[in-house]
Amino acid sequence: MGVTSIGMDSVFEFGLKLPDVRESSYFGARALKVNGQMLACTPVNKSAEINSVVVAVSFERRAALLKKLPLLYYITDHYAGYPAMLIRLSKISHAELERTLRMSWKFAGSMDAVQRSPGKAKRV
């Protein structure tokens, strides 16, 4: 996988090209939202590795991606109960980042946070 330097600016640059995506904040962190729902954001929990981004994703898709590409995608105990996963930006290609953000955009734009979360709403 041809990986070049990717940081949060790359996440925002691509994410803002998707329909209905706006730059915002989420629990005080720089974020992208689609129709008011978190699509991607800078992780605020200290359990996340440096140069990571958290993205909205279904639990089923997350399980598949964690199994298929564990060097790119990961979760920590803090994020396990949320419909979200972390991405190591230092390990991902631009093409894979774009595919992942499109997937997250479809998921985040499809339903509200309460419907996505198992049990009560939790903080990401």
pLDDT confidence band for 118 (50 / 70 / 90): very low
> Could you tell me which of 91, 111, 115, 112 has the C-alpha nearest to residue 2?
91
> Could you tell me which of 42, 4, 11, 10 has the C-alpha nearest to residue 26?
42
Q: With b meaning 16 or more CB within 10 Å and e meaning fewer, what string describes 21-34?
A: beeeebeeebbbbb
> Could you tell me which of 23, 47, 17, 20 has the C-alpha nearest to residue 35?
20
pLDDT confidence band for 19 (50 / 70 / 90): very high
In this predicted structure, the answer to whether residue 29 has a pLDDT above a threshold of 80 is: yes
Decide which of 14 and 3 is more confident.
Answer: 14
Domain layout of the chain by residue ranges:
8-116
Phi then psi dihedrals of residue 94, to 5 deg: -60, -40
CATH 3.90.1150.30 for domain 8-116: yes
Mean predicted lDDT score pLDDT of the chain: 88
pLDDT reported for residue 4: 56
Instruction: Give Cβ neighbours of residue 95 (< 8 Å, ≥ 6 apart).
Output: none
Question: pLDDT tens, 67-107?
Answer: 999 999 999 999 999 999 999 999 999 999 999 999 999 99
pLDDT reported for residue 122: 42
Amino acid making up residue 17: K
